[in-house]
Structure 1
């Protein structure tokens, strides 16, 4: 992860101040508790949780059990953290994308980090942390990605690891209308929430602060409450309740079935427990599987710049370079799609998934709500290109800030303007490839994918008879972030 900058400047956020004169007040609420030495790791779980690394289990020194399998003997440090009621005081990402877990006076940085004292990194805080979050505020670049640590009545704000001038401040001054002491807090992103803001939790009560206006509204969420910690990760919102956790919708407060679940089965490495039972990666869906010469059937880049890669019943998603690629079951976000996706594209905030001769259109927040009346026949939705029926589509793509849709089948490619509606017909264009598995167009260019190979063009206008096809590059290293 990147180093810390030593520069630190004050800023002001619309709706609440990020800088006022220095305060000498000290926290009035202390809930200090000491945690045993431990290491926290994350386990990626198909359909439920995060595809982060899971550390190798400790070697067993116990004699084999009656069934012939070796018994797993817990290290003394694991006895506490693997109990049902073990949990976090606060969880947040830092500006470089490292997950940080706070408990008592200790903090663990990343899935493989060793236990450290909070005051070793944040000496100004000097103890435990009640709540923490990384602010998302694109309209205020100097405030965007600042890390907020809340303890009692006070809040400390860090920019690239350095305490900002004028802090600590009272929470009541920084966030007017938000009570203390707080149990948890988390940022809320536009497109996932109705507006850019912050969620605050205290007991059974939840408040949403809208950054643009500074207004505070209380949320009535019967299924969400008593959050001892909270974190947003890759568009998913998690509330930790002691030794358990649940995922919830940040607008409605709805919780999917099967929650809450035990932390020790998903986020805490406990030998003999959880999915994968000590495998370095989730054995059914390893994160680095994308680097093992998989053939991807479709690619997609949405309006926010997220990239999706589809293979079989799974898809990989990358939000930003610092977040990395992570895998999920397709049914986790698009439950109506049963099976592999043949092609995909996005336009005007909607996601189009093509499967066989049918198309599914998803809209709403983050593009995960099926539009009424779908799926329907692709030919009914887009019309047929000439005398060819749209029964088999190899790839589709749109480019940023363009309404033109490109469709590839075999050695043929067509284009039509979606903004023109049904009156615009397909036009065939020259296509220099016999076949592709997928296509992706981003601000960086057009990528045509065939097996493990990637062909990069500046844009679709470079697909001309007089042009020289580019040399193939490795899909894994060029696009998927693999080392080799």
Structure 2
């Protein structure tokens, strides 16, 4: 929360640049909106300037995946259009507010995806644009043990935190609210993070705003993950003469990598038993299983520490993620964060019994790894030691870029196209490939 700051301005977001939340994709997105050549002007007569360094009281996503920025009596919704008074879009609520977050708790459907807004000692709860019955109510009633007059709040997802929870900031104290744990509220002192005047989770990343600056932090330890505080005006708000992504438009190679709809082939796809799907290209990756909150390419090292460069293949097995780069294998434990396994990288021949591969995949809850080289498929039993590949089986594809198996079947990726099979047996028994589909349309919500 920040002091009341008077009037308002129009918020727009930067063109897609490096590692921070900038833009929400659309189902019919061609990707061109990520790199606007002639962006709209922020100068709107009669409105205050978002670029003057005032910051925001709260930042949150709603149940539709739209980002909301609150300041004083006003709110900006999404990435286009003018600011409005808060009570025009959030009925029965008048600013300023203290904090806001979108709850995540799939085990409690009546609370999941609800937006909580905090003001003094009370909390409001909204869903699908409406204030829910029984709200506002005291914070102590809805979140026992959490104080009023908060500075900021943010949800934390199970898998990123130990359990679905909420993190509240007030002064120097952090309150971790997790009702399924004992005790349900734990207090922490996160000196490195400091006082967050606003906080938000976006695409598995957690951001603490302190005035106009922000940092990225670990929601479990409070470790600051940004090398230094960054200016909101260079990442979240379009400001004249500012911004970190302008050079992307001048680099056609980098633009093709980071524009998910460019049609450039992906080097690897991977899916794990938890349903997480990733697409890898040129040292960057997209999370493809949940795009409600938008799209963004991230450097590999943001999620997998010390992993850089192109990935030849990736697969998951028993809460571990394997990356193959050339003749080397590196493994990460899949916990609240990905933790590198000691002793890696190791030679591919020592780990899997093969020397070269074009693609690799495992199917859900199976120890059978399938590796593809040219038009030959081989199985490696990951439970064996030492591991030794079975005999080759011919498939109707050559020059495969990647392969992935999940609960929807088996996918073979070649260039901008994919081929879908029911399972491995259908793949090896087919004498010719099935009708192809478009990767960008099917997996990345692009309009071809």
| TM value normalised by structure 2 | 0.89
After alignment, is 452-461 or 232-241 more displaced? Answer: 452-461
Greater Rg, structure 1 or structure 2?
1
Q: 2:217 aligns with which of 238, 245, 248?
A: 248
Question: Following TM superposition, by how much is the alpha carbon of 1:249 offset from its aligned partner in structure 2, in angstroms?
Answer: 0.6
Aligned counterparts, 1:10-89, within 5 A: 32-48=4-20, 50=22, 53=34, 56-57=38-39, 80-83=49-52, 85-89=53-57
Question: Following TM superposition, by how much is the alpha carbon of 1:426 offset from its aligned partner in structure 2, in angstroms?
Answer: 3.0
Question: Following TM superposition, by how much is the alpha carbon of 1:191 offset from its aligned partner in structure 2, in angstroms?
Answer: 1.3
Q: CA RMSD in A?
A: 2.7
For the Cα contact (< 8 Å) 1:198–1:211, is it kept in 2? no
Aligned residue number for residue 67 of structure 1: none
Question: Following TM superposition, by how much is the alpha carbon of 1:126 offset from its aligned partner in structure 2, in angstroms?
Answer: 2.6
Question: Following TM superposition, by how much is the alpha carbon of 1:274 offset from its aligned partner in structure 2, in angstroms?
Answer: 1.3
Q: Which whole-Å CA distance do the structure 2 matches of 1:35 and 1:282 have between them?
A: 38
Aligned residue number for residue 425 of structure 2: 461
- Partner SS state of residue 259, structure 2: helix
Aligned residue number for residue 64 of structure 1: none
Aligned residue number for residue 471 of structure 1: 435
Q: Which whole-Å CA distance do the structure 2 matches of 1:302 and 1:200 have between them?
A: 31
After alignment, is 170-179 or 34-43 more displaced? Answer: 34-43
Distance change (3 Å), C-alpha of 1:257 and 1:92: closer
Aligned residue number for residue 118 of structure 2: 150
Q: Does residue 137 of the first structure (1) align with residue 105 of the second (2)? A: yes
Q: Structure 1 stretches of 5 or more lacking a match?
A: 1-28, 60-72, 385-389
Aligned residue number for residue 387 of structure 1: none
Q: Which whole-Å CA distance do the structure 2 matches of 1:476 and 1:447 have between them?
A: 14
- Partner SS state of residue 156, structure 1: strand
Aligned residue number for residue 237 of structure 2: 268
Q: Which whole-Å CA distance do the structure 2 matches of 1:339 and 1:299 have between them?
A: 15
Aligned residue number for residue 71 of structure 2: 103
After alignment, is 121-130 or 39-48 more displaced? Answer: 39-48
Show CA shifts across 1:13-46 (max 9, x none): xxxxxxxxxxxxxxxx996543323223245332
Aligned residue number for residue 128 of structure 2: 160
Equivalent pairs, count = 436
Aligned counterparts, 1:179-328, within 5 A: 179-213=147-181, 215-277=184-246, 285=255, 289-328=259-298
Q: Which whole-Å CA distance do the structure 1 matches of 2:14 and 2:60 have between them?
A: 14
Show CA shifts across 1:197-233 (max 9, x none): 0000012211101131361111121111211110011
For the Cα contact (< 8 Å) 1:171–1:178, is it kept in 2? yes
Q: Which whole-Å CA distance do the structure 1 matches of 2:87 and 2:435 have between them?
A: 53
Q: 2:299 aligns with which of 308, 319, 329?
A: 329
Question: Following TM superposition, by how much is the alpha carbon of 1:476 offset from its aligned partner in structure 2, in angstroms?
Answer: 1.8
Q: Which whole-Å CA distance do the structure 2 matches of 1:351 and 1:325 have between them?
A: 22
For the Cα contact (< 8 Å) 1:43–1:49, is it kept in 2? no
For the Cα contact (< 8 Å) 1:146–1:157, is it kept in 2? yes
For the Cα contact (< 8 Å) 1:307–1:319, is it kept in 2? yes
Aligned residue number for residue 400 of structure 1: 364
Aligned residue number for residue 14 of structure 1: none
Question: Following TM superposition, by how much is the alpha carbon of 1:259 offset from its aligned partner in structure 2, in angstroms?
Answer: 2.0
Aligned residue number for residue 317 of structure 2: 347
For the Cα contact (< 8 Å) 2:14–2:243, is it kept in 1? no
- Partner SS state of residue 463, structure 1: helix
Aligned residue number for residue 29 of structure 2: none
Q: Which whole-Å CA distance do the structure 1 matches of 2:287 and 2:327 have between them?
A: 25
Distance change (3 Å), C-alpha of 1:80 and 1:259: same
Q: Does residue 121 of the first structure (1) align with residue 89 of the second (2)? A: yes
Question: Following TM superposition, by how much is the alpha carbon of 1:109 offset from its aligned partner in structure 2, in angstroms?
Answer: 1.1
